Amino acid sequence: MLAPPMLPVPPPTYAGTERVVAALIDELVARGHRITLFGPGDSTVNCAIVPTPERSLWSTGYRGDVATYINITLARAWARAEEFDLLHSHVETLGFLFARYCPKPVLTTLHGRLDVSGVPRLLEEFKDIPLVAISDSQGRWWPDLNWIATIHHGLPLEGMPHSDEPGNYLAFIGRVTPEKGVADCIELARRTGLPLRMAAKVYDPHEKRHFEEIVQPAIDDGVVQFLGELAEPERDALYAGALATLMLGAWPEPFGLVAIESMAAGTPVIARRAGGPTETIEHGVDGFLVDDLTEAELAVSRVRALKRARIRKRAVARFSPARMADAYEAAYAFLLTGDGARRRGRAEEVRDGVPDKVSAKV
Protein backbone atom coordinates (compact mmCIF):
# COMPACT_ATOMS: atom_id res chain seq x y z
CA MET A 1 0.00 0.00 0.00
CA LEU A 2 1.56 3.31 -1.15
CA ALA A 3 0.47 6.40 0.79
CA PRO A 4 1.27 10.11 0.39
CA PRO A 5 4.11 11.52 2.54
CA MET A 6 2.36 14.50 4.13
CA LEU A 7 0.49 12.91 7.05
CA PRO A 8 0.83 9.71 9.06
CA VAL A 9 -1.58 6.83 8.48
CA PRO A 10 -3.96 7.29 10.21
CA PRO A 11 -3.69 11.07 10.59
CA PRO A 12 -4.04 12.80 13.98
CA THR A 13 -6.51 15.39 12.68
CA TYR A 14 -8.71 15.85 9.64
CA ALA A 15 -7.53 14.34 6.37
CA GLY A 16 -8.99 12.32 3.55
CA THR A 17 -6.77 9.84 1.75
CA GLU A 18 -4.81 8.80 4.85
CA ARG A 19 -7.96 7.98 6.82
CA VAL A 20 -9.33 5.86 4.01
CA VAL A 21 -6.01 4.02 3.58
CA ALA A 22 -5.91 3.32 7.32
CA ALA A 23 -9.46 1.96 7.33
CA LEU A 24 -8.74 -0.25 4.33
CA ILE A 25 -5.50 -1.63 5.82
CA ASP A 26 -7.16 -2.38 9.15
CA GLU A 27 -9.97 -4.30 7.46
CA LEU A 28 -7.65 -6.23 5.13
CA VAL A 29 -5.31 -7.18 8.00
CA ALA A 30 -8.32 -8.38 10.02
CA ARG A 31 -9.16 -10.65 7.08
CA GLY A 32 -5.70 -12.22 7.09
CA HIS A 33 -3.96 -10.26 4.35
CA ARG A 34 -0.30 -9.35 4.90
CA ILE A 35 0.07 -5.64 4.19
CA THR A 36 3.15 -3.43 3.94
CA LEU A 37 2.69 0.33 3.98
CA PHE A 38 5.16 2.48 2.06
CA GLY A 39 4.54 5.82 3.72
CA PRO A 40 5.49 8.12 6.61
CA GLY A 41 7.46 6.41 9.35
CA ASP A 42 5.33 7.93 12.10
CA SER A 43 2.29 6.01 10.82
CA THR A 44 0.69 3.77 13.46
CA VAL A 45 -1.46 1.50 11.32
CA ASN A 46 -1.31 -2.20 12.20
CA CYS A 47 0.96 -3.51 9.45
CA ALA A 48 4.61 -3.51 8.34
CA ILE A 49 5.82 0.01 7.52
CA VAL A 50 8.59 1.09 5.15
CA PRO A 51 9.32 4.75 6.05
CA THR A 52 9.22 7.17 3.09
CA PRO A 53 10.01 9.63 4.77
CA GLU A 54 10.92 8.92 8.40
CA ARG A 55 8.38 11.48 9.62
CA SER A 56 5.31 12.82 7.88
CA LEU A 57 6.21 16.05 6.12
CA TRP A 58 3.58 18.32 7.63
CA SER A 59 4.49 17.21 11.17
CA THR A 60 7.98 18.64 10.55
CA GLY A 61 6.62 21.96 9.35
CA TYR A 62 7.42 21.25 5.69
CA ARG A 63 4.98 22.98 3.31
CA GLY A 64 6.85 22.70 0.00
CA ASP A 65 6.46 20.50 -3.07
CA VAL A 66 5.88 16.86 -2.12
CA ALA A 67 6.67 15.33 -5.54
CA THR A 68 10.26 14.47 -4.58
CA TYR A 69 9.10 12.51 -1.55
CA ILE A 70 6.44 10.69 -3.54
CA ASN A 71 9.15 9.65 -5.99
CA ILE A 72 11.14 8.24 -3.07
CA THR A 73 8.06 6.26 -2.05
CA LEU A 74 7.71 4.90 -5.57
CA ALA A 75 11.41 4.04 -5.83
CA ARG A 76 11.41 2.08 -2.58
CA ALA A 77 8.24 0.21 -3.48
CA TRP A 78 9.57 -0.58 -6.97
CA ALA A 79 12.81 -1.96 -5.51
CA ARG A 80 10.83 -4.44 -3.41
CA ALA A 81 7.95 -5.11 -5.80
CA GLU A 82 8.80 -8.80 -6.26
CA GLU A 83 7.97 -9.43 -2.59
CA PHE A 84 4.28 -8.70 -3.14
CA ASP A 85 1.34 -10.13 -5.05
CA LEU A 86 0.00 -6.68 -5.85
CA LEU A 87 0.72 -3.02 -5.12
CA HIS A 88 -2.01 -0.47 -4.42
CA SER A 89 -1.09 3.16 -5.11
CA HIS A 90 -2.74 6.18 -3.48
CA VAL A 91 -0.22 8.77 -4.72
CA GLU A 92 -2.29 10.05 -7.63
CA THR A 93 -0.87 10.59 -11.11
CA LEU A 94 2.78 10.58 -9.99
CA GLY A 95 2.44 6.81 -9.74
CA PHE A 96 1.36 6.26 -13.34
CA LEU A 97 4.77 5.29 -14.75
CA PHE A 98 5.28 3.02 -11.76
CA ALA A 99 1.90 1.38 -12.46
CA ARG A 100 2.75 0.83 -16.12
CA TYR A 101 6.21 -0.70 -15.75
CA CYS A 102 6.30 -2.28 -12.30
CA PRO A 103 6.91 -6.05 -12.56
CA LYS A 104 3.87 -6.78 -10.38
CA PRO A 105 0.27 -5.61 -10.86
CA VAL A 106 -0.43 -2.10 -9.59
CA LEU A 107 -3.92 -0.80 -8.82
CA THR A 108 -4.24 3.00 -8.62
CA THR A 109 -7.03 4.66 -6.68
CA LEU A 110 -7.47 8.26 -7.77
CA HIS A 111 -8.56 10.51 -4.89
CA GLY A 112 -8.50 13.96 -6.52
CA ARG A 113 -10.26 15.76 -9.34
CA LEU A 114 -9.10 14.81 -12.81
CA ASP A 115 -9.82 17.86 -14.95
CA VAL A 116 -7.04 20.24 -13.86
CA SER A 117 -3.26 20.75 -14.13
CA GLY A 118 -2.81 18.73 -17.30
CA VAL A 119 -4.30 15.58 -15.81
CA PRO A 120 -6.66 15.02 -18.79
CA ARG A 121 -3.66 14.72 -21.14
CA LEU A 122 -1.95 12.34 -18.74
CA LEU A 123 -5.02 10.13 -18.50
CA GLU A 124 -5.17 9.91 -22.28
CA GLU A 125 -1.54 8.74 -22.30
CA PHE A 126 -2.08 6.05 -19.65
CA LYS A 127 -5.20 4.27 -20.82
CA ASP A 128 -3.64 0.90 -20.00
CA ILE A 129 -3.10 1.15 -16.25
CA PRO A 130 -5.79 -0.25 -13.91
CA LEU A 131 -7.69 2.48 -12.10
CA VAL A 132 -10.31 2.80 -9.37
CA ALA A 133 -12.60 5.81 -9.18
CA ILE A 134 -14.02 6.92 -5.84
CA SER A 135 -17.27 8.06 -7.49
CA ASP A 136 -18.91 7.67 -10.86
CA SER A 137 -18.80 11.46 -11.14
CA GLN A 138 -15.01 11.47 -10.84
CA GLY A 139 -14.49 9.17 -13.80
CA ARG A 140 -17.37 10.11 -16.05
CA TRP A 141 -15.35 12.20 -18.53
CA TRP A 142 -13.04 9.26 -19.37
CA PRO A 143 -15.19 6.18 -19.95
CA ASP A 144 -12.51 4.56 -22.15
CA LEU A 145 -9.86 4.32 -19.42
CA ASN A 146 -9.01 1.03 -17.73
CA TRP A 147 -11.47 1.46 -14.86
CA ILE A 148 -11.56 -1.67 -12.75
CA ALA A 149 -14.28 -0.39 -10.42
CA THR A 150 -15.91 2.58 -8.75
CA ILE A 151 -15.48 2.09 -5.00
CA HIS A 152 -17.01 4.52 -2.56
CA HIS A 153 -14.94 5.17 0.55
CA GLY A 154 -15.63 3.44 3.84
CA LEU A 155 -14.76 4.47 7.39
CA PRO A 156 -15.36 2.95 10.84
CA LEU A 157 -18.46 5.01 11.56
CA GLU A 158 -20.26 2.86 14.14
CA GLY A 159 -18.71 4.74 17.06
CA MET A 160 -19.68 8.21 15.84
CA PRO A 161 -21.56 10.20 18.50
CA HIS A 162 -25.04 11.02 17.29
CA SER A 163 -28.17 12.85 18.28
CA ASP A 164 -31.79 12.48 17.25
CA GLU A 165 -32.40 16.15 18.07
CA PRO A 166 -31.46 18.91 15.60
CA GLY A 167 -28.88 21.39 16.80
CA ASN A 168 -28.95 25.18 16.61
CA TYR A 169 -25.87 25.87 14.45
CA LEU A 170 -24.50 25.06 10.99
CA ALA A 171 -21.20 23.21 10.63
CA PHE A 172 -18.36 23.39 8.11
CA ILE A 173 -15.48 20.89 8.16
CA GLY A 174 -12.67 20.91 5.62
CA ARG A 175 -10.24 23.36 4.06
CA VAL A 176 -10.46 27.13 3.80
CA THR A 177 -10.42 27.31 0.01
CA PRO A 178 -12.80 28.87 -2.53
CA GLU A 179 -13.73 25.51 -4.07
CA LYS A 180 -15.10 24.35 -0.71
CA GLY A 181 -17.74 27.08 -0.81
CA VAL A 182 -16.56 28.90 2.32
CA ALA A 183 -18.00 32.25 1.21
CA ASP A 184 -21.40 30.72 0.43
CA CYS A 185 -21.48 28.91 3.77
CA ILE A 186 -20.87 32.20 5.56
CA GLU A 187 -23.49 33.98 3.48
CA LEU A 188 -26.04 31.23 4.25
CA ALA A 189 -25.34 31.67 7.95
CA ARG A 190 -25.95 35.42 7.60
CA ARG A 191 -29.21 34.90 5.72
CA THR A 192 -30.61 32.33 8.13
CA GLY A 193 -29.37 33.97 11.32
CA LEU A 194 -27.71 30.72 12.41
CA PRO A 195 -24.12 30.66 13.69
CA LEU A 196 -21.56 28.81 11.58
CA ARG A 197 -18.98 26.72 13.41
CA MET A 198 -15.94 26.01 11.24
CA ALA A 199 -13.37 23.27 11.86
CA ALA A 200 -10.93 23.85 9.05
CA LYS A 201 -7.36 23.56 7.87
CA VAL A 202 -5.39 26.70 6.98
CA TYR A 203 -1.93 25.58 5.79
CA ASP A 204 -1.17 26.73 2.27
CA PRO A 205 -0.62 30.39 1.26
CA HIS A 206 -3.85 30.49 -0.75
CA GLU A 207 -5.75 29.10 2.26
CA LYS A 208 -4.29 31.81 4.49
CA ARG A 209 -5.29 34.49 1.99
CA HIS A 210 -8.83 33.14 1.77
CA PHE A 211 -9.06 33.05 5.54
CA GLU A 212 -8.00 36.68 5.89
CA GLU A 213 -10.29 37.89 3.10
CA ILE A 214 -13.43 35.84 3.80
CA VAL A 215 -13.38 34.13 7.20
CA GLN A 216 -11.78 36.73 9.48
CA PRO A 217 -14.38 39.44 8.73
CA ALA A 218 -17.15 36.92 9.54
CA ILE A 219 -15.44 36.05 12.81
CA ASP A 220 -15.24 39.76 13.65
CA ASP A 221 -18.97 40.10 12.88
CA GLY A 222 -19.88 37.19 15.14
CA VAL A 223 -21.21 35.03 12.29
CA VAL A 224 -18.42 32.43 12.43
CA GLN A 225 -16.89 30.58 15.33
CA PHE A 226 -13.56 29.34 13.96
CA LEU A 227 -12.27 26.22 15.71
CA GLY A 228 -9.22 25.39 13.58
CA GLU A 229 -8.34 21.75 13.01
CA LEU A 230 -10.00 19.48 15.53
CA ALA A 231 -8.99 16.05 16.74
CA GLU A 232 -11.46 13.28 16.02
CA PRO A 233 -13.52 13.39 19.27
CA GLU A 234 -14.09 17.14 19.05
CA ARG A 235 -14.77 17.02 15.31
CA ASP A 236 -17.30 14.22 15.66
CA ALA A 237 -19.08 16.05 18.48
CA LEU A 238 -19.29 19.09 16.19
CA TYR A 239 -21.05 16.98 13.57
CA ALA A 240 -23.47 15.44 16.05
CA GLY A 241 -24.53 18.74 17.57
CA ALA A 242 -25.22 20.61 14.33
CA LEU A 243 -28.52 21.34 12.64
CA ALA A 244 -26.84 20.56 9.31
CA THR A 245 -23.40 20.25 7.77
CA LEU A 246 -22.71 22.47 4.78
CA MET A 247 -20.89 21.42 1.58
CA LEU A 248 -21.60 24.32 -0.77
CA GLY A 249 -18.51 24.18 -2.95
CA ALA A 250 -19.31 24.73 -6.63
CA TRP A 251 -16.82 22.13 -7.76
CA PRO A 252 -16.98 18.40 -8.63
CA GLU A 253 -16.02 17.01 -5.21
CA PRO A 254 -14.51 13.58 -6.08
CA PHE A 255 -16.17 11.96 -3.06
CA GLY A 256 -16.60 14.02 0.11
CA LEU A 257 -15.83 12.22 3.39
CA VAL A 258 -17.50 15.06 5.28
CA ALA A 259 -20.87 13.92 3.95
CA ILE A 260 -20.66 10.34 5.20
CA GLU A 261 -19.19 11.39 8.57
CA SER A 262 -21.95 13.91 9.15
CA MET A 263 -24.64 11.44 8.17
CA ALA A 264 -23.15 8.81 10.49
CA ALA A 265 -23.64 11.34 13.30
CA GLY A 266 -27.27 11.64 12.24
CA THR A 267 -26.76 15.17 10.93
CA PRO A 268 -28.18 15.98 7.49
CA VAL A 269 -25.97 17.48 4.81
CA ILE A 270 -26.85 20.47 2.64
CA ALA A 271 -24.60 20.13 -0.39
CA ARG A 272 -24.18 21.66 -3.80
CA ARG A 273 -25.61 19.34 -6.45
CA ALA A 274 -22.24 18.44 -7.95
CA GLY A 275 -19.72 15.62 -7.86
CA GLY A 276 -19.56 12.77 -5.39
CA PRO A 277 -22.22 14.04 -2.94
CA THR A 278 -24.86 13.40 -5.60
CA GLU A 279 -24.09 9.70 -5.09
CA THR A 280 -23.83 9.66 -1.31
CA ILE A 281 -26.67 12.01 -0.29
CA GLU A 282 -30.24 11.09 -1.17
CA HIS A 283 -32.16 14.34 -1.58
CA GLY A 284 -34.89 14.67 1.04
CA VAL A 285 -33.63 11.65 3.00
CA ASP A 286 -30.02 12.25 4.08
CA GLY A 287 -30.09 15.99 3.45
CA PHE A 288 -30.63 18.23 0.46
CA LEU A 289 -28.84 18.83 -2.86
CA VAL A 290 -29.04 22.48 -3.89
CA ASP A 291 -28.11 24.59 -6.88
CA ASP A 292 -27.75 28.02 -5.25
CA LEU A 293 -28.05 29.91 -1.98
CA THR A 294 -31.78 30.47 -2.36
CA GLU A 295 -32.30 26.71 -2.46
CA ALA A 296 -29.88 26.35 0.44
CA GLU A 297 -32.09 28.69 2.50
CA LEU A 298 -35.08 26.51 1.64
CA ALA A 299 -33.10 23.45 2.70
CA VAL A 300 -32.33 25.00 6.10
CA SER A 301 -36.02 25.69 6.62
CA ARG A 302 -36.87 22.02 5.99
CA VAL A 303 -33.90 20.19 7.46
CA ARG A 304 -35.39 19.74 10.93
CA ALA A 305 -38.04 17.44 9.48
CA LEU A 306 -35.51 14.81 8.35
CA LYS A 307 -35.22 11.67 10.48
CA ARG A 308 -31.74 11.75 11.99
CA ALA A 309 -31.83 8.15 13.26
CA ARG A 310 -32.58 6.94 9.74
CA ILE A 311 -29.79 9.09 8.29
CA ARG A 312 -27.28 7.54 10.70
CA LYS A 313 -28.43 3.97 10.11
CA ARG A 314 -28.15 4.32 6.33
CA ALA A 315 -24.68 5.90 6.46
CA VAL A 316 -23.16 3.28 8.78
CA ALA A 317 -24.46 0.49 6.55
CA ARG A 318 -23.57 2.04 3.19
CA PHE A 319 -20.06 3.30 3.98
CA SER A 320 -18.47 0.63 6.15
CA PRO A 321 -14.83 -0.50 5.85
CA ALA A 322 -16.14 -4.04 5.28
CA ARG A 323 -18.11 -2.99 2.22
CA MET A 324 -15.11 -1.06 0.89
CA ALA A 325 -12.74 -3.98 1.50
CA ASP A 326 -15.13 -6.40 -0.23
CA ALA A 327 -14.98 -4.22 -3.33
CA TYR A 328 -11.19 -3.90 -3.24
CA GLU A 329 -10.72 -7.64 -2.74
CA ALA A 330 -12.80 -8.17 -5.86
CA ALA A 331 -10.66 -5.64 -7.74
CA TYR A 332 -7.44 -7.31 -6.56
CA ALA A 333 -8.73 -10.73 -7.61
CA PHE A 334 -9.72 -9.37 -11.00
CA LEU A 335 -6.19 -8.08 -11.59
CA LEU A 336 -4.51 -11.27 -10.45
CA THR A 337 -6.70 -13.78 -12.28
CA GLY A 338 -8.91 -14.25 -15.28
CA ASP A 339 -9.96 -11.24 -17.32
CA GLY A 340 -7.76 -8.89 -15.36
CA ALA A 341 -4.61 -10.85 -16.17
CA ARG A 342 -5.57 -11.01 -19.83
CA ARG A 343 -6.23 -7.27 -19.86
CA ARG A 344 -2.76 -6.67 -18.44
CA GLY A 345 -1.37 -8.78 -21.22
CA ARG A 346 -3.15 -6.72 -23.85
CA ALA A 347 -1.84 -3.52 -22.27
CA GLU A 348 1.72 -4.84 -22.39
CA GLU A 349 1.25 -5.74 -26.04
CA VAL A 350 0.18 -2.18 -26.81
CA ARG A 351 3.10 -0.69 -24.89
CA ASP A 352 5.80 -2.98 -26.19
CA GLY A 353 4.62 -3.53 -29.76
CA VAL A 354 4.91 -7.32 -29.54
CA PRO A 355 1.91 -8.73 -31.43
CA ASP A 356 2.11 -12.29 -30.07
CA LYS A 357 3.02 -11.46 -26.46
CA VAL A 358 -0.53 -11.79 -25.15
CA SER A 359 -1.02 -15.42 -26.14
CA ALA A 360 2.44 -16.28 -24.84
CA LYS A 361 1.68 -14.78 -21.44
CA VAL A 362 -1.81 -16.26 -21.14
What single-letter DSSP state applies at residue 304? G
Instruction: Based on the fold, state whether residues 123 and 178 are members of the same structural domain.
Output: no
Closest CA to 146 of 113, 105, 87, 104: 105
Count of domains observed in the chain: 2
Instruction: Based on the fold, state whether residues 133 and 70 are members of the same structural domain.
Output: yes
Instruction: Based on the fold, state whether residues 255 and 340 are members of the same structural domain.
Output: no
pLDDT in tens, 269-301: 999 999 999 999 999 999 999 999 999 999 999
Bond from prior residue into 10 cis (ω within 30 degrees of 0) = yes
Q: What are phi and psi of 323, to 5 degrees?
A: -65, -40
**With 90 as the cut, is the pLDDT of residue 358 above it?**
no
Closest CA to 134 of 119, 114, 117: 114
Q: How would you write 57-125 as a 3-class SS string?
A: HHHHCCCCCCHHHHHHHHHHHHHCHHHCCCEEECCHHHHHHHHHHCCCCEEEECCCCCCCCCHHHHHHH
Q: What are phi and psi of 272, to 5 degrees?
A: -60, 140
Q: Cα angle at 321 between 334 and 177, to 5 degrees?
A: 105
**With 90 as the cut, is the pLDDT of residue 53 above it?**
yes
Average pLDDT over residues 1-25: 93
pLDDT more than 70, % of the chain: 93
User: Which run of H or of E encompasses 342?
Assistant: helix 338-352
**With 70 as the cut, is the pLDDT of residue 102 above it?**
yes
- 3-state SS class at 154: coil
Instruction: Based on the fold, state whether residues 297 and 345 are members of the same structural domain.
Output: no
The reply to whether 162 falls in a domain is no
Q: Which domain range does residue 287 map to?
A: 170-318
Transcribe 173-217 into DSSP letters: EEE-SGGGTHHHHHHHHHHHT--EEEEEE--SHHHHHHIIIIIHH
Instruction: Based on the fold, state whether residues 340 and 355 are members of the same structural domain.
Output: yes
Residue 317 to residue 245: CA distance in whole angstroms: 20
**With 80 as the cut, is the pLDDT of residue 104 above it?**
yes
Residue 35 to residue 18: CA distance in whole angstroms: 15
Return the pLDDT at 338.
61
Instruction: Based on the fold, state whether residues 141 and 188 are members of the same structural domain.
Output: no
Return the pLDDT at 357.
26
The reply to whether 163 falls in a domain is no
Instruction: Based on the fold, state whether residues 203 and 183 are members of the same structural domain.
Output: yes
Return the pLDDT at 348.
52
Q: How confident is the model at residue 340 (pLDDT cuts 50, 70, 90)?
A: low
Q: What are phi and psi of 148, to 5 degrees?
A: -85, -35
The reply to whether 9 falls in a domain is no
Instruction: Based on the fold, state whether residues 346 and 207 are members of the same structural domain.
Output: no
The reply to whether 112 falls in a domain is yes
**With 90 as the cut, is the pLDDT of residue 212 above it?**
yes
pLDDT in tens, 235-248: 999 999 999 999 99
The reply to whether 6 falls in a domain is no
pLDDT in tens, 307-339: 999 999 999 999 999 999 999 999 999 999 966
79: domain CATH number is 3.40.50.2000
The reply to whether 140 falls in a domain is yes
Instruction: Based on the fold, state whether residues 133 and 186 are members of the same structural domain.
Output: no
Instruction: Based on the fold, state whether residues 74 and 191 are members of the same structural domain.
Output: no
Return the pLDDT at 345.
52
How many CB atoms are closer than 10 A to CB 51? 18
Instruction: Based on the fold, state whether residues 234 and 266 are members of the same structural domain.
Output: yes
Average pLDDT over residues 106-112: 97
Q: What is the largest CA-CA distance in the chain?
A: 71
Instruction: Based on the fold, state whether residues 309 and 281 are members of the same structural domain.
Output: yes
The reply to whether 354 falls in a domain is yes
The reply to whether 202 falls in a domain is yes
pTM above 0.85, yes or no: yes
